Structure 1
């Protein structure tokens, strides 16, 4: 986390470096999967994927053909927002199969499910309630408790089909179905060891899912750049990633076979989240967590809906940073005042979202006003709401939901 004196003095801080060992990128790179499994010592590989990918594409069969009899099981029941009962069931299958290496095949939900399964295998978790011992606890305004894993988690290789970028973090979001809250789990062992960014396997990804997860990457860039704790390293990555996403996300959404544009988007998503744990995020992510857990809205769509409104809310304290972001969004700000440039950036973002053809209002994703009270209540218990650049009250969050409706 970076700090700077108010008089413009020298920077002071720390940066924790993620410990992923290798990233393969480019069409066809999945062919290197066997050598990575071998390098990690995997003999009994368990695949975690979605029902759609398992039944409507040949991706699972491709992985099987690459790894042969090392594949000892497949869980194709992972669900959006990672309900913890599904996690425990997948972990039971992996345990029974004697898995010593996990492969997640799919988007953020499959990646987080595999991380959660790794946790369960390391700690002997066999029922959903046991997961409570490992979730991050937050007490407003700044008390955070992060439990550590004591056992050894199996290595995890990601094969991503969206732009979620969950491949590059050591945390996972798991939904408690009873509380309707998405809990955070953090440990260095949850970091995948290898990631494959093979654009050729994303041709099956629905355009709305590709576009909306790309917008999630945009959200990472924006909230990292305007964060209270932004730092030069994450600034540079976020700014360049935003430029790439604004250039390549539209064409890769229109044409799923534009592998050059898709590869650029995959690299941008990686940049957007690299080191993200070192900065404090804000309301767009915090409200999005609740929209996902309570209303089952995909996180990419929560970013499409909430981010422009959150930028407007933060404008009084982040105008200078937002004006810089406008340049990354393609706005010519040379003759603009700072606030005008920032507002032009917000309008550019709105046009960008609408041009992707994705929902941009809460009413379009089946959220009702009756949901607002629960969303607000849970959002105020979310760490990243508490760290928003501009302090937010429950009334502020409610007003943002109204504007987004």
Structure 2
């Protein structure tokens, strides 16, 4: 057994406390004076979540950007960067799901590297070189960090990767640097209760995808097995509880903790074709990340079944369905949660399948799949199974 497990520079996870307790403590500990907030529009306009945050910040609050669409497109990032540059923050707070958290990461990149135009982003995202290898450009660290208050189960708060759609080229780009992981995370189930059911459960299935692809990865190790198997068990049980009783705050906290555990393998070379294809699916067909996992993970498991049956049985056991094919157990969970299971159910058009497959191969984002994905036909096999 050989390998390297990289710990990311997250300093604290605050769990089970309200933001009134945890955020105040974080602000004092970090000595922040000028705080810029990136909040989801729904939380900002339709709930009291932003009001609660502003009441805690008081005169530290210098502004908010609450118009970030799904997948954090470059056009919206440029607007957020213009606002942030004007107020010169010494700390960012994200309040919302993966788009808000990734938006804050990209604001870090943009301020550090003086990004002012659409094309300025091109120098800093991971890309495939002429030799076929993935090259990750170095991103300057100007010391600006983020506190994440996640309200979905995307897991973006635990990774050093920020995703953004190039909304001219229609592709998802990844920006990777150690300083992009939030310095602190606050898991407050009372804030999470404000999230709509479809978004909560679908991003929860995204976290299931994190766990499953880590368990099934060729680079799985005892540490990620311990965290991801237990995280998967916590996730599926708590999500079933939340579906039955949306006001069960203990179940929501259990899901949040399950995300923390299940994300321990992601961003460390353990994602497979489900994640790899989802980036292109999101960019080309505008499918939300959670729904990408819903429709792709069972099909990916069927594609991989011939090469990792023992690992897939571990997944079935963690789903409380020992002896059942993992793909079937995942489809059963999706049905119970009322989530989509087919590409056509999330608005994907058949003519989009080939462009998706070609983009997956061009970016190399499915290169860590247990069963090699080398040809367009490999990607199309998964997509046809999911169709």
Cα separation, 2, equivalents of 1:325 and 1:403: 20
Partner of 1:402: 384
Cα separation, 2, equivalents of 1:87 and 1:48: 11
- Answer yes or no: is 1:379 the counterpart of 2:369: no
Report the CA distance between 1:27 and its aligned residue. 4.6
| 1:330 counterpart (313, 320, 334) | 320
Report the CA distance between 1:67 and its aligned residue. 1.0
Report the CA distance between 1:38 and its aligned residue. 2.4
Query: SS of 1:384's equivalent?
Result: coil
Taking structure 2 as the reference length, what is the TM-score of the superposition? Answer: 0.96
| 2:138 counterpart (139, 143, 148) | 148
Matches within 5 A, 1:47-66: 47-66=37-56
- Answer yes or no: is 1:362 the counterpart of 2:343: yes
Indicate if the aligned counterparts of 1:27 and 1:259 stay in contact, CA closer than 8 A: no
| 1:254 counterpart (241, 244, 263) | 244
Query: SS of 1:391's equivalent?
Result: coil
Residue deviations 1:292-312 (CA, integer Å, cap 9, x gap)? 111111111111111111100
5+ residue gaps, structure 2, are none
Matches within 5 A, 1:6-155: 11-139=1-129, 143-155=133-145
Cα separation, 1, equivalents of 2:332 and 2:382: 19
- Answer yes or no: is 1:301 the counterpart of 2:291: yes
Partner of 1:318: 308
Query: SS of 1:172's equivalent?
Result: strand
Report the CA distance between 1:92 and its aligned residue. 1.1
More divergent stretch after superposition (299-308 vs 244-253)? 244-253
Matches within 5 A, 1:255-270: 255-270=245-260
Indicate if the aligned counterparts of 1:224 and 1:280 stay in contact, CA closer than 8 A: yes
Query: SS of 2:72's equivalent?
Result: coil
Residue deviations 1:248-296 (CA, integer Å, cap 9, x gap)? 1111133221000010000000111124222331110011111111111
Q: 1:243 to 1:151 in 2, by over 3 A?
A: closer
Cα separation, 2, equivalents of 1:332 and 1:13: 30
Cα separation, 2, equivalents of 1:210 and 1:165: 12
Partner of 1:233: 223
| 1:347 counterpart (314, 328, 337) | 328
Matches within 5 A, 1:153-192: 153-192=143-182
| 2:276 counterpart (286, 295, 300) | 286
Indicate if the aligned counterparts of 1:114 and 1:156 stay in contact, CA closer than 8 A: yes
Residue deviations 1:78-122 (CA, integer Å, cap 9, x gap)? 110010121121011011012111000000010000000011111
Partner of 2:370: 389
Cα separation, 2, equivalents of 1:346 and 1:59: 37
Q: 1:261 to 1:330 in 2, by over 3 A?
A: same
Cα RMSD after superposing both structures: 1.5
Cα separation, 1, equivalents of 2:19 and 2:255: 16
Cα separation, 1, equivalents of 2:81 and 2:98: 17
Indicate if the aligned counterparts of 2:269 and 2:368 stay in contact, CA closer than 8 A: no
Cα separation, 2, equivalents of 1:140 and 1:277: 23
5+ residue gaps, structure 1, are 1-10, 334-340
More divergent stretch after superposition (25-34 vs 225-234)? 25-34
Cα separation, 2, equivalents of 1:225 and 1:185: 24
Report the CA distance between 1:141 and its aligned residue. 8.4
Partner of 1:8: none
Query: SS of 2:306's equivalent?
Result: helix
Cα separation, 2, equivalents of 1:302 and 1:254: 24
Cα separation, 1, equivalents of 2:90 and 2:184: 15
Q: 1:292 to 1:36 in 2, by over 3 A?
A: same
